């Protein structure tokens, strides 16, 4: 039976690489894959899933008007892959559930668990609640050897803890950190590498 998977990880944990690798594995076996990326994420152009190491693949643009179930019925893929799933709306997560339950098509969604304040995104909230299987994509804290579980937002190299939930960016704007280093940063006891290099 098909399942809905949510594979979450901190920033820079290689989630987009995993999407592209999984798509390649299916296609190498002659199987069909449908890839989706939210319309919100235009950092590398619309309708593109791009890893930090430069690999790239075209994907369907997922907006609030996209009829996921209809596209899946028409395309009948062997698997559906979703990048940046934290940006999904509740209705879109429910549509992914329908695809799994009614069409027996596995869906693997990748995304963040929480924002820079440690709060769940709408998409990750519903994925964590409804997914059949939840898996962590791991990476190491930017400052120590612990596992990174938090996303720390930077402004001019300085950690910030207030602001809009969604602000797209890469290493210049976010760092993967462990909870301990995140807590030290909140107390002003942690200097980021970028901030340190600008002031020495």
Residues belonging to the active site: 84
* End-to-end CA, the chain: 57
- Angstrom distance (rounded) from CA 9 to CA 149: 7
Distance (Å, whole) CA 32 – CA 29: 9
The first and second tokens of residue 148, run together, are 């990174």
Alpha-carbon distances of 80 from 36, 52, 64, rounded to whole Å? 8, 22, 17
Q: How far apart are CA 111 and CA 124, in angstroms?
A: 7
Tell me how long the chain is: 200
Percent of residues in the chain assigned helix, strand, coil, to nearest 5: 30, 25, 45
From residue 158, give the alpha-carbon distance in Å to each of 29, 67, 91, 125. Answer: 46, 41, 36, 28
């Amino acid at each position: 039976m098909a399942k809905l998977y949510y594979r979450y990880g901190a920033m820079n944990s290689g989630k987009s690489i995993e999407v592209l690798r999984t798509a390649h594995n299916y296609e190498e076996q002659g199987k069909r894959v449908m890839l989706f990326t939210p319309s919100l994420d235009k950092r590398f152009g619309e309708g593109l899933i791009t890893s930090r190491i430069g690999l790239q693949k075209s994907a369907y643009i997922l907006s609030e008007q996209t009829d996921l179930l209809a596209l899946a019925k028409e395309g009948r893929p062997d698997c559906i892959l979703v990048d940046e799933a934290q940006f999904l709306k509740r209705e879109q997560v429910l549509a992914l559930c329908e695809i799994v339950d009614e069409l027996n098509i596995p869906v693997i969604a990748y995304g963040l668990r929480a924002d820079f304040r440690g709060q769940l995104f709408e998409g990750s909230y519903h994925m964590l609640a409804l997914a059949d299987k939840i898996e962590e994509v791991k990476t190491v804290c930017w400052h120590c050897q612990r596992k990174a579980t938090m996303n720390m937002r930077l402004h001019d190299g300085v950690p910030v803890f207030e602001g809009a939930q969604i602000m797209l960016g890469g290493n210049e704007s976010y760092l993967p950190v462990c909870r301990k280093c995140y807590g030290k940063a909140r107390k002003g006891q942690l200097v980021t590498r970028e901030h340190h290099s600008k002031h020495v």
